[in-house]
Structure 1
Amino acid sequence: MSRFKNIKKTFGKRIKRLKLLAFHSQQFSFKSNPKKRIIICFNGVVPHGGLVDRLKGIISFYDIAKILDYEFFIQFDTPFRLAVFLEPNQVQWQMNRAAIKYHPLKTKILYLVNDFECHPLQIIKDSKADTFLVYANIDYSNTLYPEWTTQEKEAHWRKNFNMVFKKSALLNSKLKAVENEKYIAFHTRFTSLMGDFKDTTALVLDGKQQNVLLEQLQQKIKPILEDTHYKCYAFSDSIRFLETIKQRESVYLVEGNPFHMDNFGGDTPIQGHLKTLLDFFMLSESESIYFLKCGKMYHSSFSKYAAIVGNIPFKMITD
């Protein structure tokens, strides 16, 4: 990374930390907490990432709270209330904004979005604060358990996820309304390449390149369909890809338009966010997941973590 980019990145982080300090100091209090606690926050003051990024941060800091025997809470009200779709299971984690107070000496704000280098457990252990307001979107399993195998880390992540969350009655009913038979799934991530999805990237392929990419993907999907007797569902961030592959091949789609969770409109109805949760748990409940990547397409952890939650086979198919 160039010196200019490093300076820009450092400056951006400082600005975000100042914004968070200004936001939380509005609820100033000198009251101490009887037990140390970690509160991971999703309030829209800064970008938080998509659904899976948010889940990574949540599970990482739940794990740290468990290790340290701290209380653990989630404040998630933007762009929707998390408990509408994912309710507390064995951990009573719900906390609203009004309950979060800022003590100038005993509250520490941790802005760790896209910070892959830090050791969050050590940061918290070394601090004298009793309340940690966390902004994070990273799975820190590799940092916390460097000697574990991939399978051990995934099993641990899944166990923690199921300790923290259970699907709400609303989400369960919507999932059952989509499909009751067994199915496989494939997933693609284009971000801005097809010109139909707003993300942090800006590259848009021209029409010819888009058509070539669609053809390449179709040729990778054909043998998957020929080799299974199950239904096949397609998941993607590109409406154009989904509509095209449905016209060309025998695949099924989940109704609704995909969009990034940080790029929501203030009037986005709850059904818009339901689509993201349906996609994730439809993937997690499939028989197997195929992640397809050709050319300039992007990697995605969305379907990979769905496979971890569902404990199902995951296969990446590339050029």
Structure 2
Amino acid sequence: MAFKKPVCQFIVVVSIFFLLVAWHQYTANKQYTVTTSSKHNQKLIDETRQKQKKNLSLMEQKLLQLNNKTKYVIFHCVGRSLCGGWGDRQHGIISVYLMALTMGRRFGIIISRPCDISKYLQPNKVNWKIDSKELHGLKSRYLNLVDGNKYISSLQSADLETLYPEDVLYVSTNRIYFYALKKNARYKEQLLWASQKSYGNIFAKVMNLLFRFSDLLQAKFDKFFEVNIPKTNMHLVCAQIRIGKNPSVPGDSQRNSMSDVQNVWNFLSKYNNTSKYKIFVTTDSKEVQDIASKKFSSQFMYTSGEIIHVDRLRKGVKDTCDALRKILMDQYILTKCDTLLVSRSGFGENALLMREKENNIFHFKNGKVTRINIEKFFPGWEKTWL
């Protein structure tokens, strides 16, 4: 028994030793495992962060690419190319704006014939001014569609983005595309807001969205009414008289004769109460303006400036920019008239569309003055512009 006791003690000591060694090894392994796991996790975290940064960078790059790939549809009237009179151009501007909406592109206006339009008209709720630097290096295409009636019917089914993949599409037109684009099933969603509206409603709405007076023109406009109609109870009677070919616009076609204009004078003579009525006349003829001034001297109003047709300038015009100012100002004055007579011309008829009042409207055509109902006057346009 004395022999067994030392052996047992030895076994216990050895066992404890191996237990201590085993524990030390376990602890070391655990620490290594935890450290390795921690390093591995950190590596995963770092890799994830790098991927996120990379993905963010890719997103930023894509956004940059999208910005670089912004596409444009621009109403274009520059140089010597014919664009039509101001009334025609207004229809063209509306048409190109609708094209931009259907194509999901940014809309712009560049008019420098006969003068930079932005001198007198500024963007209102839609920014149509485009810096030329934005367009530098972009692929472009020019469409000269002035008087292009055959093109209109194609818009009822055309895929415009496929037809015109270029980054910048410059369009010159004086035609109404509203009815054709509205019939194109491809653009039903884009033009849903316009589907139940008349062209007259769309014209007035878009003109208001696009344009406001520059400070210069607004000041002249306000001054005109302040000086000429100081009393708020005055009734403003207006006549837009288009003669056509005459010394002021020798390049135009004949519209009315001077003898026809006598019917306009007879019409205006009904408003001879100087305490109640003011008479404003805008015309394409200096001779007509002078006659009106003599006939209605105490009531007569007009804006100063040379008379021109913006697309058919005669030689010797001293200040084309001021002449454009007169055209723009005259049309907006027509929209404020209590009684309005217009000739068969886009300039005058567009004033009807922009005018808030629908009563007391008269039309001068083929030498005759007739009262018209605006609701019945314009619906026939759909047959014309399809």
Q: TM-score, normalised by structure 1?
A: 0.75
Quick one: distance in 1 between partners of 2:285 and 2:159? 39
More helix by share: 2
1:116 corresponds to: 149
Runs of 4+ off more than 4 Å: 96-103, 146-151, 224-228
Secondary structure of 1:233's counterpart equals: strand
Q: 2-side partners of 1:55 and 1:111: how far apart?
A: 16
What is the SS of the residue equivalent to 2:208?
helix
Aligned residues of 2:103 and 2:160 also touching (Cα < 8 A): no
Q: What corresponds to 1:187 in structure 2?
A: 240
Offset of residue 225 of structure 1? 5.0
Distance 1:231 1:110, change over 3 A: same
**SS at 1:278's partner residue?**
helix
Take 1:270 and 1:71, find their aligned partners in 2: how far apart are those partners? 27
Structure 1 residue aligned with 2:345: 300
- Structure 1 residue 187: deviation in Å? 0.9
1:251 correspondence with 2:300: yes
Is 2:278 the partner of 1:231? yes
- Verify the 8 A CA contact 1:289 1:303 in the aligned structure 2: no
Q: Cα–Cα, structure 1 residues 288 and 117, in superposed 2: closer, same or farther, change >3 Å?
A: farther
How far apart are residue 138 of structure 1 and its match? 1.7
- Quick one: structure 1 residues 44 and 99, their matched pair in 2 at CA, closer, same or farther if it must change by over 3 Å? farther
Match of 1:76 in 2: 111
For 1:64-213, list aligned pairs within 5 A: 64-95=99-130, 100-101=135-136, 106-119=139-152, 121=155, 122=158, 124-127=160-163, 128-145=165-182, 152-180=198-226, 181=229, 183-192=236-245, 194-201=246-253, 210=258, 212-213=259-260
Q: Which moved more, 1:178-187 or 1:49-58?
A: 178-187
Could you tell me which amino acid in structure 2 is paired with residue 242 of structure 1? Answer: Q
C-alpha change, 1:150 and 1:275, in structure 2 (3 Å) is farther
Q: Deviations over 1:78-114 (max 9, x none)?
A: 32111111101222211356654576xx533211101
- Which of 308-317 and 64-73 deviates more? 308-317
Task: Name the amino acid aligned to 1:230.
Answer: Y
1:219 is aligned to 266
The Cα of 1:62 is off from its aligned counterpart by 0.9
Question: 2-side partners of 1:141 and 1:315: how far apart?
Answer: 26
Q: Distance in 2 between matches of 1:204 and 1:54?
A: 19
Distance 1:144 1:226 in 2: 48
- Cα drift, residue 262 of structure 1: 2.1
Contact residue 40 and residue 134 of structure 1 kept, 8 A: yes
Quote the Cα distance in structure 2 between the aligned partners of 1:167 and 1:37.
24
Q: Is the 8 A contact 1:199 1:263 kept in 2?
A: yes
Question: Number of residues paired by the alignment?
Answer: 274
Q: CA RMSD in A?
A: 3.1
Higher mean C-alpha displacement, 139-148 vs 239-248 = 139-148
Secondary structure class of the residue paired with 1:199:
strand
Q: Deviations over 1:20-54 (max 9, x none)?
A: xxxxxxxxxxxx95133201211123111222222
Match of 1:37 in 2: 72
C-alpha distance in 1 between matches for 2:208 and 2:301: 28
List runs of 5+ in structure 1 lacking aligned partners. Answer: 1-31, 293-298
> Closer, same or farther in 2 for the Cα pair 1:226/1:151, shift >3 Å?
farther
**Is residue 280 of structure 1 aligned with residue 311 of structure 2?**
no
8 Å CA contact retained: 2:252, 2:312: no
- Do the aligned residues in 2 keep the contact of 1:113 with 1:136 (CA within 8 Å)? yes
Q: Partner letter of residue 248 of structure 1?
A: K
Give the TM-score of the pair, scaled to structure 2: 0.63
Q: 307-316 vs 279-288, which deviates more?
A: 307-316
Bigger Rg, which one: 2
Amino-acid identity (%)? 20
